[in-house]
Chains A and B, each alone.
Chain A
């Protein structure tokens, strides 16, 4: 399963890398929204994990841009964010995100969490 992970914070990227390795994911990590948009067209991920607050292109904008890429119109996108007030979650879902995972996430259960969300 091809997974695109977009996160500006290098430490969190490496934690995620540890968490998701050996779990059967083929992962590309991108440190910005712009980078994600540019490499998503070639990579054609099956699932995208997206940080919300990033310098430059933020998560919601990245989502909109990714959706414009042919083939990614309906790819599941999960936000990973510290913004988890009910109204904030509502607004992310309204943007077309499949789910919102709260930060700080538990890396031990992250792979399971992703699989559960996808299997719903």
Chain B
């Protein structure tokens, strides 16, 4: 129903109701009331008639009676008839009984004529009400029509006003609103009134203003952002969670050589060398599944692939934007080819310079050392002192060159850190052993306070941490008095490990504190001569510790000594080991020997599993609570629990009752005998020292699903495919392509562990695929033609269809899949 009808309908219904009420209720009521009134009026006339007729009736003068009645009838036109009966109900007037003709509404009034309380006659008067009221009724009907007409006009007028006051402004507003909805923001409505519609329009206009303002701001800010993005020197690429490119800025176009139209909607993988595809897939899968972002970082180096197929180094920073309904990943990419070149030149220069410096230095130092060592007896003491000075300083120059080289590498971020999970307290012990000689030469003792921290591990580069230790210990020794001690303390502060190196030397003046970690900083130039050192040690230490994610600082009281300390995050609370990529499935290693745990983690990593290390039962419990694991490798001897009790405990819990467990222990065989368990309780028992091959096979038996290799078979004969599919079922994930183009597409989309190729394909030669297959992925030629020696050299195996059996194909595939790439 449209609005005019809606507005008109109530008025119309009101009109109908009033008309109905008037016509069918009020009017009949009024007529009935009038009738009663009439009857009363007639009654008084009848009384007069009674008086007039009485003498004649008493005289029995019937003629006179008749003439009176006739006169009355003639006179009163609305009296239809009069009937006169004597006391014996005989009709006296009219002379004959006449049939009453129905002429409308007739009413009868019966009246007895009495004399001295005796009824002498009775007459009936038949009154035609309609005739009596004719004129009046005509007026009445006219009045009714007039009222209804007025009412009708009022109704129509109301409707018209409704239309003008309500419908038209609303219609106009609706038009403007739909214009705005379509984006025509210049559409506007003028309506000046203070009524509700006016307020509505005013509110609407103000909303419109705000939308326009926001639209304007938005366009403005978009233009600004676009200008920033378009003019950014770095490539900015927006992708969705599936890796599809949503936006690609001009700098990215320049860097990669594609236009943005070519790439919008494509997978970001087209911009990466193939070796990055697997990692990228894993990352996105992992991210989608867990929401844990393993790539997001402020910056890391990777490789990009240009349209022309060339690769180049990039700095990559990925950040995430969470929109209402989906998540976008924004990658900022910088082509660092130039920087790499310059860096390389710089490091080559430094390396060359330092080599060039060292060559003469080797001669100088060697010569001095030989003279002092071999000829000291023949040299006068004065000369010997000079030679010793020269020797000491040439040594210092050597240290300085080493330190400069180190510092350059570290500050260029080129330090090739070999991360390992190690016990910091064990490293401290080693550092003390290594620096013991130096301390002894200064008659200073080194003491270790490790607070029972043997099992607290950190993920660091051992060599570099030892370098830091050496710097801090040698500094402390240098500034200690004879027979003093330097205390090296390892302690835990929350989830960090702190190492303090404390001496009772002269302390460090406050004014030097701001420069202490600067290059070539030494508190006092006179100290330099006395104490030696290059002034680079603390600077290098700081650079190393910062790169390892820790902090380094010191406290000192002048005259009482100084305490240098560094803190590193410890990793025994279930941090992921060496691998940060999304390998699956995940395995928990519960082993208190940090070195062995690390070796196990490495081996698992090589086998394609990611692992998490827990050094005691408590940590293992925490890890198991946090996430599901596919397998637990458990040492029976744990610092805080008996392994067998721990297994029993895990079996009680709903989460871990099905978790496969492999026990590794020095007493595995013994424990196995004593343990009344079945295969479900413990999957395997491995005796220490561990047979790693047995471990690998035990693992692959336990974890096989989804770990199966995925192979691609490129073959145009569907029968061969059907046979192969049946052959490989259950062994590998089998995928096939029947044309060259399909194969190329699949190779670009997926990563395969092995590819089987038929050479003759409907749209080309299968050999064309060789260039597109990832390096390290084994290739088997399985073709009708015998392969030439040249082809055989390029692939891992060649089989000829009619000659080689299915079993041979299977065996070849299995062999190649087992080989490490």
Please list the residues of chain A having a beta carbon within 8 angstroms of any beta carbon in chain B: 9, 11-12, 14-16, 18-19, 53, 82-87, 103-108
Contacts and interface: CB of A to CB of B under 8 A. Distances in A.
Chain B binding surface SS class: helix
Interface stretch (B27-35, B366-374, B725-733, B734-742): B366-374
B475 interface: no
Given A107-B369, A108-B370, A82 B355 contact: yes
Nearest to B360: A11
B355 A105 contact: no
Interface string B403-420: 001000100000010100
B354 A15 contact: no
B355 A19 contact: no
B363 A15 contact: yes
Contacts of B367: 11, 15, 18
Interface in B393-407: 394, 398, 402, 405
A14 B361 CA distance: 14
B762 to A, nearest CB: 48
10 closest A-B pairs by beta carbon, nearest first, are A15-B366, A11-B363, A104-B362, A82-B358, A108-B373, A107-B366, A104-B365, A87-B416, A82-B355, A18-B370
Nearest to B352: A53
Contact of A9 (B354, B359, B370): B359
Interface string B326-354: 00000000000000000000000001001
A16 B362 CA distance: 10
A12 B369 contact: no
A53 to B, nearest CB: 6
Given A11-B360, A86-B463, A106 B369 contact: yes
B363 A85 contact: no
A107 B370 contact: yes
Given A9-B363, A15-B363, A87-B416, A103 B369 contact: no
Contact of A53 (B355, B361, B365, B463): B355
A99 B409 CA distance: 23
A69 to B, nearest CB: 28
Nearest to B463: A86
B416 A103 contact: no
22 contacts: A11-B360, A12-B359, A12-B366, A15-B362, A15-B370, A18-B367, A18-B370, A19-B366, A19-B370, A82-B355, A82-B358, A85-B405, A86-B463, A103-B358, A104-B361, A104-B362, A104-B365, A104-B366, A105-B366, A107-B366, A107-B370, A108-B369
Interface residues of B, number: 24
A102 to B, nearest CB: 9
A86 B366 CA distance: 24
Contacts of B366: 12, 15-16, 18-19, 104-107
A93 B354 CA distance: 22
Contacts of B374: 18, 108
Contacts of B355: 53, 82-83
Nearest to B401: A82
Contacts of A18: 366-367, 370, 374
Interface core residue of B369, B374, B416 (most chain A CB under 10 Å): B369
A12 B355 CA distance: 13
A18 B394 CA distance: 19
Contacts of A82: 354-355, 358-359, 362
B308 to A, nearest CB: 33
Given A14-B363, A82-B362, A87-B416, 13 more contacts: A15-B366, A18-B366, A19-B366, A82-B354, A85-B416, A86-B418, A86-B463, A103-B358, A104-B362, A104-B398, A106-B369, A107-B370, A108-B373
Interface in B41-100: none
Interface string B275-306: 00000000000000000000000000000000
Given A82-B355, A86-B463, A87-B416, A103 B373 contact: no
